[in-house]
Structure 1
Amino acid sequence: MIGAVLRLHSDIEFAERSIDSLRGRLRSLTISPQAIDEPNARDLLDSAQRLALAVTARNAHLAAATAVLDGLRRREPPPAPALPAALAAGPAQPADLLRTR
């Protein structure tokens, strides 16, 4: 289990780094004072698609990590069922056992 959690953590970190770099790339493409020509438009579209994929991958890894960690959490045991009335009264006393008709 710890291996799965560590792998998910590294995948989430990789996705976060990808998101940061792609956001920077999109920012640099859109802030430039030049008009957006065809090659820049292709780069812009490619970066936007990669950003969407990175966000989707990060969200999937976060959901998987949450499921794994929820599975490791201790749960309270279910409440004990109520005892039948005969058992709740306690054990029979020796005098009760010796009575005859």
Structure 2
Amino acid sequence: MVTTALATKRELNGERKHAMNLKPLGDRIIVKQDEAQETTAGGLYIAAESKEKPQSGVVLAVGEGKVNNEGEHLPMPVKAGDHVLYGKYGGTEVDVEGEKVLILRADDIYAVYAE
């Protein structure tokens, strides 16, 4: 079974989010990145060019998973709505319907966490 994001507004973590009509293939995962940190711990504002790329986000959609040698789909480690951590340079950032999302492989996800 494939979990996909719908091309309508929906509730996600208590906020209205716009989701795109994308269906990831194989073991790919579509993630909405968290916002980059605006200020330092001391309260100083960070210039846009100096902001660190976020390494966490919310899963919007997941593919069916990898296929093993017997032709069976291996279960995906995450589901839509999960909060995940991933590598700084992992995945491909794309702009879909005016919304920037990250497309990652399942192996690029390091951990799932509760917010």
* TM-score, with structure 2 as normaliser: 0.20
- Greater per-residue helix proportion: 1
Q: Which has the higher contact order (CA 8 A, sep 6+)?
A: 1
Bigger Rg, which one: 1
TM-score normalised by length of structure 1: 0.21
